[in-house]
Structure 1
């Protein structure tokens, strides 16, 4: 009797397991079928014809209108590894193609303050933006994509109320490394690192950052009094002296407008800064996931594949995501960099979660098809017109 009951229980367990496996295969098969259908619709359009999106290819009316009022906040573009310039080119191209207006600085240093980096336009003088005068109170631009320190109030002075705010974040550890490589020959503190390798110097600096940043902090406070006047090129000591503070300690929060001369902040303050950013930005892209970012951008802005495919054809796409060990960073150095940039780490982690949630909301199958549409057509353009992915960088 006992064996009979046991056999019945085994049979019931087998039935339940089979039922759930059947459900699993149905769901997976539906997901794959959706992706195959999307891909088939995409492939049915030749490059020389109309490169429509899936809904248009199926003869459906578009569900949204393309976004034309955009404020893109570039992070530091001095690190060549960043995709920031690619997105700047994209917005410039879209604006020209659609006859949109965008704010331009009147000169190389018009938007720069006494700290040697760009800041928000219209700092008490609207004539610092081309095409805008004291009598142009009702005039608004369509796009702004130049370097600045974020100030939503100032941006809304020249942009419409329905402007979509977008930016691009980079892994703070790699951002620190790239900034170190870029500026290590210009910092005043380099005298302390004679005879040391790059990673050895980095380790020495990270072991006592407060001491090494004492002089930059002093120069930074002095430079605050020069805002709006700029630093003369002759005053290279101040410019190069403050770069360690600006580019090594939470530089992305800094660009977002959270200016602080302190090297350490409490977690509650970081979280308040991040909450403020969440409430102001509609889309935060990730540098390390360029293809996904471009697909999400295209979907969120309701643009066509044609609007982004030529950018995809013009850029040099990395073969794989950079790893810390690829540049020689061991676990100890990574931990020290993360500790110095706790604010940027929390910012990046927060928006990385938002990014993947956004991707799931759109649907992985649809995002994969959008990427396929963009980059398969980009490859066709390259094969037809371009011999190499290499292009000359253009600085906006």
Structure 2
């Protein structure tokens, strides 16, 4: 056999190997990628496979997520961004990155909102201080409302670290231990950004977080949340929460696969006494969490424990598959290790927020999909904003 024939066979063999590798990657993603411009990552990147024929429900596409602080909300925001982008949905976007927080939400806080234009929005999901009457002006009547809670002791530990340079109550305290021992020594009503220092989730829900605790007040707030929100998730049981969300929204497993975003470099371990004191200091949040912890597990029981275990197992396997395909290393890394500016999360003062490194040896479409899964919320919001309003400029709509 001539050398040229041997080389030709080797080239064909290498080509076949490359095609098989790409095919394997697409098979793992279980998604078909349409052709797209290599210069601009396509906004409608992927076309989801149709749901199996046995599904009788219709996917919900009018969604309002109240993103509470330090409760894994950034990770949920990413999955909503991806779902809306993939399905061509319209977002109610803030002018910057929050809806005029910490002030109570008003419909005019939505970029481009015009009361005379009706209700063209499908998804609302960025930080706000909740105001149901104003949200209703923007979102359709059949909107699905959900939010997420976290043990207030864990919220407090995370908030102290993240907002230490911003909240006056935290700034006055020499360290977390000192704040836990005597929070009232440092906390003053009305001081700048003190909404992060006491009952922050209660505040995000639109209630007064400085009102002295009474059972009557706590129950009235819980009742209001239960009447408005279709689902309340728990950060401590994130995977179970994703399965319940998938079920309620009639979405597919791929729609709720996530990777942890906005996580810190380090966190302090709280002892039993610290947890007890922080729950007492944040008593409105603790009552709220305790109540919805019960309703959460009621929903799990109705869903079925064995079925939940099976679904969570599938979700974890899917996450592992995608992590192996998409990322360098086994987890998030320090921001200085991330070469791509678009993947570096916002860095608050005196804190390191981790991000992800996406493999460079992937086909363009696959790599773009992987990037979307770990794009920080600020960059993703800018991406959606640029697309949505460039379209609006060309067709006269939002």
Is 1:351 matched with 2:306?
no
Correspondence for 1:97 among 86, 97, 101:
86
Unaligned runs of 5+ in 1: 1-45, 221-240
Q: Which residue of 1 aligns with 2:365?
A: none
Correspondence for 2:135 among 149, 152, 155:
155
Q: Which residue of 1 aligns with 2:110?
A: 129
TM-score, structure 2 as length reference: 0.67
Residues 346, 174 of structure 1: CA spacing in aligned structure 2 closer, same or farther, 3 A cutoff? Answer: same
SS at match of 2:116: coil
Q: 1:249 offset after TM fit, Å?
A: 1.7
CA distance in 2, matches of 1:343, 1:368: 32
SS at match of 1:140: coil
Q: Which residue of 1 aligns with 2:179?
A: 202
CA offsets 1:308-361 (integer angstroms, 9 cap, x no match):
23xx3x43799xxx9xxx834333332221211111111001111111111111
Q: Which has the higher helix share?
A: 1
CA offsets 1:39-60 (integer angstroms, 9 cap, x no match):
xxxxxxx63657999x93xxx5
Q: Which residue of 2 aligns with 1:11?
A: none
Residues 300, 108 of structure 1: CA spacing in aligned structure 2 closer, same or farther, 3 A cutoff? Answer: closer
Residues 198, 254 of structure 1: CA spacing in aligned structure 2 closer, same or farther, 3 A cutoff? Answer: closer
Which stretch shows the higher mean deviation, 344-353 or 360-369?
Answer: 360-369
CA offsets 1:266-325 (integer angstroms, 9 cap, x no match):
11111111011111110111111111111111111110122223xx3x43799xxx9xxx
Correspondence for 2:105 among 114, 117, 120:
120
TM-score, structure 1 as length reference: 0.67
Q: Which residue of 2 aligns with 1:142?
A: 122
Residues 203, 100 of structure 1: CA spacing in aligned structure 2 closer, same or farther, 3 A cutoff? Answer: closer
Look at both structures and tell me which one has the larger radius of gyration over its CA atoms.
1
Unaligned runs of 5+ in 2: 1-26, 33-47, 333-342, 346-375, 379-398
CA distance in 1, matches of 2:229, 2:223: 10
CA distance in 1, matches of 2:289, 2:256: 25
Higher relative contact order (CA 8 A, sep 6+): 1
- Matched length: 295
Q: Which residue of 1 aligns with 2:186?
A: 212
Correspondence for 1:290 among 238, 248, 262:
238
Q: Which residue of 2 aligns with 1:65?
A: 58
Correspondence for 1:274 among 222, 234, 238:
222
Q: Which residue of 2 aligns with 1:395?
A: 377
Whether the 8 Å CA contact 2:104–2:206 is kept in 1: the answer is no
CA distance in 2, matches of 1:148, 1:362: 31
Residues 277, 134 of structure 1: CA spacing in aligned structure 2 closer, same or farther, 3 A cutoff? Answer: closer
RMSD: 3.0
Q: 1:192 offset after TM fit, Å?
A: 6.0
Whether the 8 Å CA contact 1:121–1:148 is kept in 2: the answer is no
Correspondence for 1:174 among 119, 134, 154:
154
Whether the 8 Å CA contact 2:145–2:231 is kept in 1: the answer is yes
CA distance in 2, matches of 1:287, 1:150: 19
Within 5 A, what are the aligned runs for 1:203-242?
Answer: 203-206=180-183, 209=184, 211-213=185-187, 216-217=188-189, 220=190, 241-242=191-192
Within 5 A, what are the aligned runs for 1:318-333?
Answer: 327-333=268-274
Q: 1:134 offset after TM fit, Å?
A: 4.2
CA offsets 1:111-134 (integer angstroms, 9 cap, x no match):
326xxx253132xxx3x4233224
Q: 1:243 offset after TM fit, Å?
A: 2.4
Q: 1:89 offset after TM fit, Å?
A: 0.7
Residues 50, 132 of structure 1: CA spacing in aligned structure 2 closer, same or farther, 3 A cutoff? Answer: closer
